[in-house]
Amino acid sequence: MVPEEIEWELVNPQGVCKPILANIAARPSTLEDKTIGLYWNAKNGGKEVLERIAGLLGERFKGLKVIKYWEAVPESRTFGGLDPKTLSSMASLRADIVICSHGD
């Protein structure tokens, strides 16, 4: 016996997404004399990658300053998400550009 086809009117359970717009800051044209923030989310290997990249950047650009957030703002060393207070502390250090490492 073939199941009967009928007309259905169903509620789409997915709903809409929160409309969010985050403006992305412009990148600097040069890295000389700039401050680079390094954000490590406490996952394996990430710190090593960031440390090495900081070293490679330092060899190329004079006057480069580096903020290691895991040292400057130790609460940022988490893979559980950053709370607003920690984010504010990181932002107050005023990096020109931030490199984040997300991996495992």
Contact residues for another protein, defined by CB under 8 A: 3-24, 26-31, 42-49, 52-53, 56-57, 60, 70, 74, 77, 79-81, 83, 97, 99-104
Could you tell me the CA-to-CA distances from 29 to 17, 26, 32, 65, 99 in Å, in that order? 35, 9, 9, 16, 16
CB of 92 to another protein, least distance (A): 21
CB of 88 to another protein, least distance (A): 15
How far is 58 from 41, CA to CA, in rounded Å? Answer: 22
**Which one, 93 or 97, has the nearer CB to another protein?**
97
CB of 65 to another protein, least distance (A): 14
**Which one, 80 or 92, has the nearer CB to another protein?**
80
Tokens of 45: 């290997």
- If you compute the radius of gyration of the chain from its CA atoms, what whole number of angstroms results? 22
